[in-house]
Chains A and B, each alone.
Chain A
Amino acid sequence: MARSLRGRNRAGSWEPSEKADSDEDFMKDSFLSGFREFREEIRTFVAENLPDDMRERARRGFHATKEDMRRWMEILHKKGWSAPNWPKEYGGTGWSPLKRMVFEIEMANADAPPRNPFGFHLIGPVLCEFGTEQQKARYLPAILDGSEFWCQGFSEPNAGSDLASLKTTATLEGDHYVVNGQKTWTSEAHLADMIFCLVRTNRDGASQGGISMMLIDMKSPGVTVRPIITQDMSHYVNEIFLEDVKVPVENLVGEENQGWRYAKFLLENERTGSAYLPQSKSDLNRLRSLLAELRENGDTLASNPVLDAELARAEVDMAAHEMMVYRIIDGVTGIDSNAAASMIKARGAELQQRIAGLWIEALGPHALPVYEDGEEEYGIRASPGAMSQYLIRRAVSIYGGANEIQYNIIAKRGLHL
Chain B
Amino acid sequence: MTTHDDESTGLALSSDESQLQASVERFIANEYTFDHYRATVREGGFNKAFWKQVADLGLVAACFPEDWEGYAQSGTEPFLVLEQFGYGLVVEPLVSGVLAPAAVLVATGERDRFASVFNEMMTGERLLALAWAEPNRRFDLAPEAVKASQTGGGWQLDGEKSTVLAAPHADSLLVSAATVDGPAMFLVPKDADGVELVTHRNIDGQGAADIHFRQVAVGSDALVGKPGEGEALMRAGMNMGAAMTCAEAVGAMDAALKLTVDYAQTRKQFGQAIASFQAIQHRLANMAIELEYARAMLQLLATGLFRGSESDRSAFVSGIRAKIMGCARFVVSDAVQLHGGIGVTDEAAISHYFRKVTALDLAWGDSRYHLERYRTERKAGTDLMASLY
Contact = CB atoms under 8 A, between A and B. Distances in A.
A88 B12 CA distance: 26
A134 interface: no
B384 A316 contact: yes
B295 A30 contact: no
A319 interface: yes
Contacts of A411: 281-282, 284-285
Given A313-B371, A327-B296, A410 B285 contact: yes
Grouping DSSP codes into helix (H, G, I), strand (E, B) and loop, the B interface class, with mixed when no group exceeds half, is helix
A404 B282 contact: yes
Interface string A293-327: 00000000000010011001101111111111011
Interface in A6-57: 6-8, 11-16, 19-20, 23, 26-27, 29-33, 35-36, 39
Contacts of B278: 408
B319 A96 contact: no
A224 B10 CA distance: 51
Interface stretch (B1-9, B329-337, B352-360): B1-9
Nearest to B308: A27
Nearest to A30: B388
A292 B108 CA distance: 38
Interface in A81-133: 85-88, 92, 94-96, 98-99, 125, 128-129
Interface centre among B1, B306, B385 (most CB of A within 10 A): B385
B1 A335 contact: no
Interface in B262-287: 264-265, 275-276, 278, 281-282, 284-286
B288 interface: yes
Contacts of A309: 371-372, 375
A206 interface: no
Nearest to A327: B296
A339 interface: yes
Interface in B342-389: 371-372, 374-375, 378, 383-385, 387-389
Contact of B6 (A32, A96, A417): A96
Nearest to B318: A316
Contacts of A31: 9-11, 303, 388
Contacts of B284: 411, 415, 417
B71 A320 contact: no
A8 B351 CA distance: 37
B320 A33 contact: no
A3 interface: yes
A14 B384 contact: no
Interface in B52-82: 56-59, 61-62, 65-67, 71, 73-74, 77
A309 B370 CA distance: 11
A32 B73 contact: no
Contact of A312 (B23, B375, B387): B375
Contacts of B265: 417
A317 B58 CA distance: 35
Contacts of B99: none
A16 B58 CA distance: 10
B16 interface: yes
B288 A414 contact: yes
A33 B388 contact: yes
Contacts of B249: none
Given A6-B20, A330-B12, A417-B261, A14 B66 contact: no
A27 B371 contact: no
Contacts of A343: 288-289, 292-293
A14 B2 contact: no
Contacts of B293: 320-321, 324, 343, 347
A312 B71 contact: no
A346 interface: yes
A2 to B, nearest CB: 9
Contacts of A128: 1
A333 B388 contact: no
B149 interface: no
Given A20-B73, A88-B3, A408 B58 contact: no
Most B Cβ at <10 Å: residue of A26, A318, A323, A326:
A323
Contacts of B6: 95-96, 98-99
Given A20-B73, A318-B383, A319-B297, A94 B2 contact: yes
B10 A30 contact: yes
Contacts of B374: 312, 316
Task: Pick the most buried of A14, A31, A36, A318: most chain B CB atoms within 10 A of its CB.
Answer: A14
Contacts of A33: 388-389
Contacts of A308: 375
A32 B388 contact: yes
B323 interface: yes
A316 B58 contact: no
- Most chain B CB atoms below 10 A, which of A16, A305, A340: A16
Given A19-B66, A26-B65, A319-B297, 10 more contacts: A4-B17, A6-B20, A13-B58, A29-B10, A36-B389, A313-B371, A319-B300, A320-B297, A343-B293, A417-B275
| 8 closest Cβ pairs, A-B complex | A14-B58, A13-B58, A411-B281, A323-B296, A319-B384, A410-B285, A312-B375, A324-B296
Interface of B: 1-6, 9-14, 16-17, 19-20, 23, 56-59, 61-62, 65-67, 71, 73-74, 77, 261, 264-265, 275-276, 278, 281-282, 284-286, 288-289, 292-297, 299-300, 303-304, 306-307, 319-320, 322-323, 371-372, 374-375, 378, 383-385, 387-389
28 contacts: A4-B71, A14-B20, A16-B71, A23-B67, A27-B307, A31-B9, A33-B388, A39-B389, A87-B1, A87-B2, A125-B1, A305-B375, A309-B372, A312-B371, A315-B383, A316-B384, A319-B300, A319-B323, A321-B293, A323-B296, A323-B297, A323-B299, A326-B11, A327-B299, A332-B13, A346-B289, A407-B286, A417-B264
Interface of A: 3-8, 11-16, 19-20, 23, 26-27, 29-33, 35-36, 39, 85-88, 92, 94-96, 98-99, 125, 128-129, 305, 308-309, 312-313, 315-324, 326-327, 330, 332-333, 335, 339-340, 343, 346-347, 404, 406-408, 410-411, 414-415, 417
